[in-house]
Structure 1
Amino acid sequence: MPSPSPLPQPQPADWPKARPERLPKPTYWPFFLAVGLAFIFWGLLTTWVILAAGLLIFAISLGGWINILRHEQS
């Protein structure tokens, strides 16, 4: 088994330099998306009012999260 070289190999000259990744800011939208999904499944088992509330929460949360991600990339 060959031993790993102790020194890193030099990067070829024609490769672009790696940029650090930017992480998105923390947000509450994924939490509300999960709550909406839970209400949807709960509404499927009980009544259409809870189902409608779940769909509304889910749609608003998904739109809010997508909106934040769109504005962070610009």
Structure 2
Amino acid sequence: MKALQALVELPKGWTFGSVQCVKDWAAADPQGPTAGDGVYLFHFTAGAGWKYYGEGSGYDCKDLGLIEPAPFCIS
């Protein structure tokens, strides 16, 4: 979790709560005084490691190359 948190600058007083992983994707749930329902999404590639992908409240699994459902996907 600390490796993912080091990739983004969270607002002061925020941290990541739970992290959900599917294949080479990880969604981190931000925890803070004004946190919404979105997640920070990260993608892992061999050689490059974890990279920040974006933040939002839902992603399309097909756009991410996932064929199985993921808790951070809306379809």
TM-score tier after normalising by the smaller chain length: under 0.3
- Length-normalised TM-score, structure 1: 0.21
- Structure having the higher helix fraction is 1
User: How does the TM-score come out when normalised to structure 2?
Assistant: 0.21
Q: Which has the higher strand share?
A: 2
Q: Work out which structure has the larger RCO, using CA pairs closer than 8 Å and 6 or more positions apart in sequence.
A: 1
User: Looking at CA atoms only, which structure, 1 or 2, has the larger radius of gyration?
Assistant: 1
